Structure 1
Amino acid sequence: MFDAARPPPFGKLVAIALLAGIGAALASPRLLPWPAMALLLAAATVGWWRLRRARALAAFAFGFALASLHAAHALALQLPLDWERRDVAVSGRIVDLPTHETRRTQFRFRVDDDVAQPAPLRGRLLRLAWYDDDPRSRAALKAGQRWRLQARVRAPRGLRNPGGPDAEKYALAQRLGANGYLRDPAAQARMLAPPAGLDAWREAMCERIATAVTTPGSRFVRALALGDTRGLDDADWEVLRANGLTHLIAISGFHVGLVAGFFALCARGLWWLWPGLGRRVPAVAAAAVAAMLGGLLYAAAAGFALPTVRTWLMIAVVAGLRLARRGGHGVDALALAAIAVVLADPLAVLGAGFWLSFLGVAWLLWCLPAMGEGGWRERLGGFVSAQGVASLGLLPVCAALFGQASLAGPLANLVAVPWWSLLVVPLALVGTGLETLHAGAGEFAWRWAAACFEPGWPGFQALAGSRLALWWLPEPRWFALPLALLGAFWLLLPRGTPGKALAVLLWLPLLWPDRRLPAPGEAELVVIDVGQGLSVLVRTANHSLLFDAGPAVRDGFDAGERAVVPALHALGVRRLDAAVASHGDQDHAGGLAAVLRAFPAPLRFAPPDVEGAALRGLRLRTCEAGREWRWDGVRLRFLHPPAHFPYLRNESSCVLRIDTEHGSALLTGDIGEVVERDLVRRAALSPADSLRADVVLIAHHGSAESSDPAFVRATGARYALASSGHGNRFGHPRADVLERWRRAGAAVADTAADGALRIRLGAPAHGRESGAGPVLESRRQAHPRLWDAARRAPGLSYRPD
């Protein structure tokens, strides 16, 4: 009988405590000194084994110390700040499959671990890019090759916004040492050895599939057979996300289980044909070993992607229990597998796939223990019930992790799981296996796999375009996920459990969170972190305006798509009432097209006679000085450019003033000192053109040609905000410019150091003095991460008093 006071050393309670300790360490804003963590790890190890009554507490401490040490080591692998933007010569091997794009090829590169390499990069994993307009030159890059390269490197750094991906967390989990790009690759890059190893085999197989299968389904066969998703474009991923199918298309753990089960059945078949084998090795042991080997082979074919490794470890645990002739409930095996995974890599909990895998299996084990029993009707009913349980049980986690829910997901999975996993995937794998044995032997199976896949894809595309597609959710508070999980547990209790209807109330903080909208007469500004560019959301009680949309550059990065749109969704913006392109430069207007596809704003403003490829074909109104309107008691007025002002790019930038009952703000675009002095002159002649403002967006990202001293004094700003890219080549914002604003009494903040900046022009909050003015909240300050301290640029970060 289970004794909660004395849990077994690898039981359910210990697994939960271990995960809680790891989560607490990775959620803390700072790391404790590593010697203290090493001592705690040693003490917790002894306590885990010897202190039966305090075993769960010891497991928590062990997880905390282990994760802290792994995180400290991963951060130590990253490039030191004093090596930022250096050119280095390195040699090493291309790992994984290079991704070829229009103007660049990205690849991961493992530097050789020898004294000939720069000391901070020896043995490190880099993510590099080869830029070239001629794709033929970049086609020479193949997985498994050894190269000598000249690269400019920088430590991993990412944008920090509500709803956006956290590139720094990804770099930590992957142990990336640096990012960079090749310098003069045509002259400096030299291949040292041809492709070799597992990655080379994977790329060769992908090329064979592409040659053998010329229909559109070829890209999906490559993804399902070898985890090669390079052929899938943005439209494909949108369909998959809208239908909740991304977990199937890119080598899921379920596919590893299928292969392991197939190998186990083959072993059972051999032992049935030759019963004498059972005298030497029991059939159960043979099936367990075959399952482990089959899963390992498939994980290798997928490049040991994390989902496959995670699932293989689970299979290995179950097989090990069979070999040891130890029974046990499925939940016990799941707990042991979770312990094995996090002991191998505690940073795996940073990935969404870890939680989806284990929570999904845990829900099924708890709700459907007898799913495989009975006849075909009972099994079909069990399969449908499993989809319902998985959809309901994982909905809170998906909503919290991705800020979205797919209402079409349960229906799409009912079709795709058996269709793809039991028909398309086996054919794709059979083709790969036959092709490995003899060139050309697997082509027929690959073609059949594509032929089976293609008829259903238009149906999924239609479902993705329906009203059942993605439901975007605002970013919730921290307590929303635990409450929703409790609600899901309540709803999945046996029939007859009282008060199930009340469980829906526990979902409200997650599915219907407070959007923190301004009250009438108030406004909120959010300077979105878009790198070297600008995008500002202005919200009143019932309206939203976007001032610029960030850059879109030729290498494929579109801040509108990757930063602005996710941030708008996470902030709960349901529509844009107006969009302003301050001028036509790419770093301000480049992302506008992507934003307007998601939020088709009816009002669109730009300077007269504006030029720029990003604005061609759009119906635009002019942001002429004097044009104004009111939303919810807030006045918005353009101060520049005046009538008949010629289009002079930066100098023609729209300047927008926002006046509320509690303060004002000034958005300046890229104007320079000449225009700033003209604004000071006009403000002296007309009170309507006043420059006094509580919040000022520093013009032109803080360049030396902006922030004229007279303009700085005329604004009297409490906060001066800069939008710039970390380590940008222009040196924005200039230190002397920031000091000029500080001397004038303004608190300075920069998106490069602080992430997205959020400030409200509203009534004083409860507990604050009347008239205390707006309060700035930065993304890195409000959501601190342990890797922030190591990467923070000195001297730029805003700190509240």
Structure 2
Amino acid sequence: MAAAAGTPRFGIGSASALLAGICAGLWLPVRPPWPLSLLALLAGIGLWGWRFTRQPGARRLSGALLLGFGLASLHAAHALWLQLPVSWQKHDAIVSGRIIDLPVHEPRRTRFLFRVASDAAQPARLRGRLLRLAWYDDDPGLRAMIKAGTRWRLPVRIGTPRGLRNPGGFDAEKHAMAQRITAVGYVREPSLAQALSTPTGLSAWRETMSERIRAGVASPSSRFIRALALGDTRALNDADWNTLRADGLTHLIAISGFHVGLVAGFFALALKSLWWLWPALGRRCPRPVAAAAAAMCGSAGYAVLAGASLPTVRTMLMIAVVAAVTWSRRPRRAIDTLALVAMTVLLIDPLAVLGAGFWLSFLGVAWLVWCLSDGVRRPLREAWKEFLAAQGVATLGLLPLSVVLFGQASLAGPLANLVAVPWWSLVVVPLSLLGTGLEALNAGAGSWAWRAAAWCFDLSWPMFERLAASPLSLLWLPEPVWLALPLAMLGAFWWLLPRGAPGKPLALLLWLPLLWPDRRLPAPGDVELTVIDVGQGLSVLVRTSHHALLYDMGPAVRDGFDAGERAVVPALHALGVSRLDRAVVSHGDNDHAGGLDAVRAEFPLRQVAAPEGAGVPGTQPCRAGQAWSWDGVRFRFLHPDEHFPYLGNEASCVLRIEGAHGAALLTGDVGEVIERRLLRAQPSALKADVVLVAHHGSAGSSDPEFIAATGARQAVVSSGFGNRFGHPRPEVLARWRQAGAEVHDTAREGALGIRIQENGVAVEARRRAHPRLWDATRR
């Protein structure tokens, strides 16, 4: 049994094997059959939990691996079973339930999570399920009624959670699965909605307390005090978040595991002080045991106060495990305690690995434990030196993960955190919490503490705004290959080895695939087109070997969704685009021009073309005959003519792109009339290997003779899933296929990467190249 001691059931080896199995189960391209997952789970439990006399280490690790795989697969299967099938898209229902979070009020809509009641009066498929809903209404009186903790009866239109799929984009389908969201939708007939109760419960108390902070603190910084005290970030605007991201401070401003740990530390310190004042208490209960209990109670109370979000609950659970280890009074290494905490979190919710917070919190602590304890590095007795060392270790160790998760690195982050961590955590946050506690005891008693917290916050915020405005504050990095992360982590491990370790400068070479990935730029004469998935709209990035052009920027709708900000800009960053040499707005409709402002804010545009009369400010007219060449590729506008009036869709800029090995035709939203006009005027110019199907595949476009004249091998449609127009029309797709073209649609395939090169035309669909088991298109 001596060998068994070398592989403890809850040690670092078992934790690593469990994590590897969970990752394998969740990152498979397809979901395994549930009987196979159940068999893996049972076999894993047997191998991991049983005491073996021969080869206990290998079998226990194999058991933990199988246990993780089976558990994650079953959790994923259950989370996806909770979701509505794709066939239920635009399903109408009447549901009763409760708003369970703080509603987010926007200019035209209110967003919230809605838990459907479990009674028999509810639709069977929705009983007890979680819905993410939007309520479109500008009535101030109605908005005042949409509060957390309120029960409502709502007529809703819902469908399966579905998101865009782009390089560098947010994976909404993964998020919905991790949150166990059944459906997304909106209140269909607001006039028929009925409020069934007044606000009650913890969420209602949080919203009431947030309103008191807003009313009691005149400073604009009250929005930050609400975030720090209650986790209410609804008042933070885009500029605030941009500053926080540029300075690497997002982990400090909203209620997170860091704040829960801070509160736990304050409770433990307060109880230790009590034991110090009355030493006799130690005879009844040892001080460490009592401090652990106080820390656990403090973290639990604060997590509930902050809305019991997943990061806070995870940290509360971690503190509870550490407290249990302390109560056991058995010596345990810090790394083994961390392994036990990780296994506890993973066994309770294996889908936690889908969130960035899990990796950042556990890897951050693991780096600190490995580098700053057990004599791995020289003793750091002075507190400020320990703090600097911890900051350096966390920055270097977590940089590879931050780049992969967020596509960016905050160069100002280490400096900003040196100020923000001690000042906000030891001054601003305690004052914010003190005010909340006093206010809970007596209305009006906490205002002075909140005002003091806002005043202290105001002392530091201007400095962080100036730091964020520095051109070197934030570095965007292209999307790397999968191997870049493990290589960079190995490089960080090598670099952080004790002094005297050989070849440390060589460790920097392992960072090259992450920091300078191959952008796969086209060769001279080749053309690359990326049709970005923007929903019901259009945006196409065209690249040659040294230049980039953006054709349309997607929609920006009144309900808050801006494809330029949410899809186009992240995709450009992920593809390594540092500048745009030209931009073309095909015409003035919102689904093509709406995202222009967001793109302009991130990429200065010196030349923007649009049809004359389109009403797009800061543009020059695109006219038939205008042409230029980049890197052996010729660009030419075919439409509109100089005196063509602006007629909306029919005035779209039609752009021909001709490389050394083929051509592409971007048609905007022109209809059959303009297609026939182009066919009569310049039929030879329509010949193209790749054609963007006009007007998202509407019935009024894609004239059969026009299709025949193009001779296209690839026809590309940009449309939104389940859009109300029914685009693309089946008869239009049939015409393109009958002409010999292969048809691609962003609604089904996500972003489309198309290369026109020497060996032909290559098309890569994002959903097909990066398959995920939670992909809604395969259900």
Band of TM-score, shorter chain: over 0.9
Would you say 1:243 and 2:247 are equivalent positions? yes
- Matched with 2:47 is 47
Pairing partner for 2:150 from 145, 153, 164: 145
Deviations 1:132-188 (A, max 9, x none): 133332221111111000111011000000001111111011011111111121x21
Pairing partner for 1:700 from 680, 685, 695: 695
CA distance in 2, matches of 1:120, 1:693: 49
Deviations 1:458-482 (A, max 9, x none): 1000000113311000000010000
Distance 1:595 1:4, change over 3 A: farther
CA distance in 2, matches of 1:284, 1:434: 28
CA distance in 2, matches of 1:742, 1:722: 13
Would you say 1:791 and 2:777 are equivalent positions? yes
Pairing partner for 2:266 from 262, 273, 276: 262
Secondary structure at the aligned position of 2:79 is classed as helix
Secondary structure at the aligned position of 2:668 is classed as coil
- Matched with 2:556 is 552
CA distance in 1, matches of 2:521, 2:655: 21
Deviations 1:597-645 (A, max 9, x none): 111121111112223xxx23x1x22211111110000001111111211
Distance 1:372 1:201, change over 3 A: farther
Q: State the Cα distance separating 1:80 from its structure 2 match.
A: 1.9
User: Is the Cα–Cα contact under 8 Å of residues 377 and 498 in structure 2 kept in the other structure?
Assistant: no
Deviations 1:241-289 (A, max 9, x none): 0000000001121211111111112222333333443333332222111
CA distance in 1, matches of 2:311, 2:518: 34
Pairing partner for 1:379 from 379, 383, 394: 383
Secondary structure at the aligned position of 1:358 is classed as helix
Q: State the Cα distance separating 1:113 from its structure 2 match.
A: 1.2
User: Is the Cα–Cα contact under 8 Å of residues 371 and 382 in structure 1 kept in the other structure?
Assistant: no
- Matched with 1:432 is 436
Distance 1:434 1:416, change over 3 A: same
Pairing partner for 1:710 from 705, 723, 730: 705
Q: State the Cα distance separating 1:214 from its structure 2 match.
A: 1.4
The aligned runs of 1:510-659 (5 Å cut-off) are 510-611=514-615, 615-616=616-617, 618=618, 620-659=619-658
CA distance in 1, matches of 2:293, 2:489: 37
- Matched with 1:723 is 718
- Matched with 2:762 is 775
User: Is the Cα–Cα contact under 8 Å of residues 372 and 382 in structure 1 kept in the other structure?
Assistant: no
Secondary structure at the aligned position of 2:196 is classed as strand
CA distance in 2, matches of 1:280, 1:4: 37
User: Is the Cα–Cα contact under 8 Å of residues 753 and 792 in structure 1 kept in the other structure?
Assistant: no
User: Is the Cα–Cα contact under 8 Å of residues 103 and 134 in structure 1 kept in the other structure?
Assistant: no
The aligned runs of 1:287-686 (5 Å cut-off) are 287-369=291-373, 378-611=382-615, 615-616=616-617, 618=618, 620-684=619-683
Q: State the Cα distance separating 1:111 from its structure 2 match.
A: 0.4
- Give the stretch that moved more between structures: 661-670 or 596-605: 596-605
Deviations 1:506-549 (A, max 9, x none): 00100000001000000100000000000000000000000000
The code of the aligned residue for 1:642 comes to D
CA distance in 2, matches of 1:422, 1:371: 28
Deviations 1:115-147 (A, max 9, x none): 211122111100111111333322211111110
TM-score (norm 1): 0.95
Secondary structure at the aligned position of 2:533 is classed as coil
- Matched with 2:93 is 88
Distance 1:2 1:452, change over 3 A: farther
- Matched with 1:763 is 758
Identity %: 67
Secondary structure at the aligned position of 1:79 is classed as coil
Q: Aligned-residue CA RMSD in angstroms?
A: 1.7
Distance 1:371 1:419, change over 3 A: farther
- Matched with 1:770 is none
The aligned runs of 1:271-282 (5 Å cut-off) are 271-282=275-286
Secondary structure at the aligned position of 2:156 is classed as strand
- Matched with 2:748 is 753
Distance 1:609 1:35, change over 3 A: same
Deviations 1:175-228 (A, max 9, x none): 11111111121x211111111111111111111111111101100111011110
User: Is the Cα–Cα contact under 8 Å of residues 267 and 298 in structure 2 kept in the other structure?
Assistant: yes
Q: State the Cα distance separating 1:655 from its structure 2 match.
A: 0.5
Distance 1:163 1:666, change over 3 A: same
Deviations 1:553-585 (A, max 9, x none): 111111001100000000000100000000000
- Matched with 1:796 is none
The code of the aligned residue for 1:737 comes to V
Distance 1:237 1:347, change over 3 A: same
- Give the stretch that moved more between structures: 463-472 or 562-571: 463-472
CA distance in 1, matches of 2:773, 2:170: 16
Structure 2, unaligned runs of 5 or more: none
Structure 1, unaligned runs of 5 or more: 765-772, 794-801
Pairing partner for 2:166 from 161, 180, 185: 161
User: Is the Cα–Cα contact under 8 Å of residues 173 and 350 in structure 1 kept in the other structure?
Assistant: yes
User: Is the Cα–Cα contact under 8 Å of residues 103 and 135 in structure 1 kept in the other structure?
Assistant: no
The code of the aligned residue for 1:465 comes to A
TM-score (norm 2): 0.97
Secondary structure at the aligned position of 1:775 is classed as strand
The aligned runs of 1:31-180 (5 Å cut-off) are 31-50=31-50, 51=52, 52-53=56-57, 54-180=59-185
CA distance in 1, matches of 2:178, 2:434: 33
Secondary structure at the aligned position of 1:115 is classed as coil
CA distance in 1, matches of 2:111, 2:505: 51
User: Is the Cα–Cα contact under 8 Å of residues 380 and 386 in structure 2 kept in the other structure?
Assistant: no
CA distance in 2, matches of 1:316, 1:385: 27
Would you say 1:18 and 2:18 are equivalent positions? yes
User: Is the Cα–Cα contact under 8 Å of residues 229 and 432 in structure 2 kept in the other structure?
Assistant: yes
CA distance in 2, matches of 1:96, 1:120: 22
User: Is the Cα–Cα contact under 8 Å of residues 6 and 55 in structure 1 kept in the other structure?
Assistant: no
User: Is the Cα–Cα contact under 8 Å of residues 371 and 383 in structure 1 kept in the other structure?
Assistant: no
CA distance in 2, matches of 1:372, 1:428: 38
Q: State the Cα distance separating 1:4 from its structure 2 match.
A: 8.6
The code of the aligned residue for 1:779 comes to R
CA distance in 2, matches of 1:376, 1:696: 64
User: Is the Cα–Cα contact under 8 Å of residues 371 and 377 in structure 2 kept in the other structure?
Assistant: no
Distance 1:3 1:566, change over 3 A: farther
Deviations 1:28-62 (A, max 9, x none): 11111112211221111011011523111110111
Distance 1:157 1:308, change over 3 A: same
The code of the aligned residue for 1:791 comes to T
Pairing partner for 1:213 from 198, 214, 217: 217
The code of the aligned residue for 1:18 comes to L
Secondary structure at the aligned position of 1:97 is classed as coil
